[in-house]
Amino acid sequence: MRAGRDWYIAAVIDGVVLAPDARTGVRLRNPFAVVAAALTSLICGLLFAAIASYAGYALDRPPPDEAEAREILSDALPGVTLTVWHVGTAPFDLDVVDAQRYDLAHTDAQWSGAPASGLAAVADHLDRTGWTVTGPTFSGVLHAHVIVARGHDTEVIVYQPEGAWYGLHDDLRVVLRRDPPEAAGAAVVFGVGGAALVWWTIAWLRRRMDFTRHSAPISALMQIAALVILVPIVTFNALTRGFFTEVNLTTVATVVRPPLWHRVGLPSQASWWLFGLLLLLVGLALALWSTRAVSGRVEPAVPTRP
């Protein structure tokens, strides 16, 4: 039994705190220790990945301009006029409401009066010119048939709505934007590395924490409170935004896939993220404080078997 007036808090937290040990990395006597350590590492890894992904897109080129869009698409449908009516000039959309802010910027074009076979003709043209084409597939969100073509760092999305949908009739709509592979690579590297770093930090601290001090159980409670805040945010945004094609009706009714930072709730829930991270950082600082050596401290005797 631990000494001190708060021994009962220490006894409870000692069993449920993030508790990896030196040999296995995880303290197995309580399943919550494994779950809590894994969730903390996962949440921090996702944050590192989202920041790295954002940096990868920010450092890439702006979306294709009108000249590049016409170079890619002009010969796809001979005899049908291609109109480029919106050109993105920055990596992100910043002039929209908060819910869509920091979406990936894009360039929009359309073929008016395209034939019924126009989507297949565009897919064939892009395939012949070296693009990797997926589709056509039907999107229930768009009520349209969609093809997606990818080059090195550019993504071309062409969709043909069924009937008169938002006044588009049978026009072929096109969205061009950047999709740099470096952003995905950076997200994987920093996400995995960040999760591993947090796991190692928790293990290092837990091996040295002294639960007879007030700072240790308080640290554990703050870490648990951070998980209570951050896990629902990430889960909610991952489920509601999804990993499928969506439509952004606030801008120009174009196809928009949420980037990674939106899927973890940034920047829309940034205040909650900051609060949760503050709890986590303060908790880790208290955990570190509980490991400090105290001069003249008499360590309790460890009972041995006769």
What would the pLDDT profile of 32-47 be if each residue is shown by its tens digit? 767 888 899 999 999 9
Q: Are residues 51 and 67 in the same domain?
A: no
H/E stretch holding 197 reads: helix 181-208
Per-residue pLDDT band for 78 (boundaries 50, 70, 90) equals confident
Nearest-5° Cα angle at 257, 94 to 152: 95
Q: Which residues contact 183 (CB under 8 A, 6 or more apart)?
A: 52, 53, 55, 56, 57, 60
- Which three-class secondary structure state does DSSP give residue 281? helix
Q: Are residues 150 and 202 in the same domain?
A: no
Q: Are residues 219 and 140 in the same domain?
A: no
Q: Are residues 53 and 189 in the same domain?
A: yes
Q: What are residue 255's phi and psi, to 5 degrees?
A: -75, 130
pLDDT at 228 exceeding the cut of 60: yes
Q: Are residues 49 and 65 in the same domain?
A: no
Mean pLDDT to the nearest integer, 157-186: 78
Q: Is residue 295 part of a domain?
A: no
Q: Are residues 39 and 126 in the same domain?
A: no
Give the pTM.
0.77
Per-residue pLDDT band for 163 (boundaries 50, 70, 90) equals low
Q: Are residues 211 and 231 in the same domain?
A: yes
Of 128, 154, 179, the residue at which a domain comes to its end is: 179
Q: Are residues 66 and 157 in the same domain?
A: yes
Q: Are residues 136 and 224 in the same domain?
A: no
246 beta partners:
256
- 113 vs 91: CA distance, rounded Å: 31
Q: Is residue 302 part of a domain?
A: no
Mean pLDDT to the nearest integer, 179-192: 93
133 beta partners:
149
Q: Is residue 297 part of a domain?
A: no
pLDDT at 185 exceeding the cut of 90: yes
Q: Is residue 43 part of a domain?
A: yes
Is the peptide bond preceding residue 63 cis, with omega within 30 degrees of 0?
no
- Which three-class secondary structure state does DSSP give residue 66? helix
Q: Are residues 143 and 66 in the same domain?
A: yes
- 201 vs 97: CA distance, rounded Å: 38
For residue 147, the number of C-alpha atoms closer than 13 Å in the C-beta half-sphere is 23
223 versus 8: the higher-pLDDT residue is: 223
Q: What is the pLDDT of residue 28?
A: 40
pLDDT at 25 exceeding the cut of 50: no
Share of the chain above pLDDT 90, in %: 26
Q: Is residue 275 part of a domain?
A: yes
Q: What is the pLDDT of residue 282?
A: 93
Of 133, 163, 179, the residue at which a domain comes to its end is: 179
Q: Diameter of the chain by CA atoms? A: 96
Structure tokens at 123: 């897919």
Mean pLDDT to the nearest integer, 70-80: 87
Q: Are residues 161 and 243 in the same domain?
A: no
Q: Is residue 303 part of a domain?
A: no
Q: Are residues 211 and 242 in the same domain?
A: yes
Of 179, 205, 232, the residue at which a domain comes to its end is: 179
Number of domains the chain contains: 2
Report the range of poorest mean pLDDT among 110-124, 191-205, 209-223. 209-223
Domain that holds residue 68: 61-179
Per-residue pLDDT band for 134 (boundaries 50, 70, 90) equals confident
pLDDT mean across residues, the chain: 77
Q: What is the pLDDT of residue 100?
A: 52
Q: Is residue 147 part of a domain?
A: yes
Q: Is residue 244 part of a domain?
A: yes
Structure tokens at 245: 């094609």
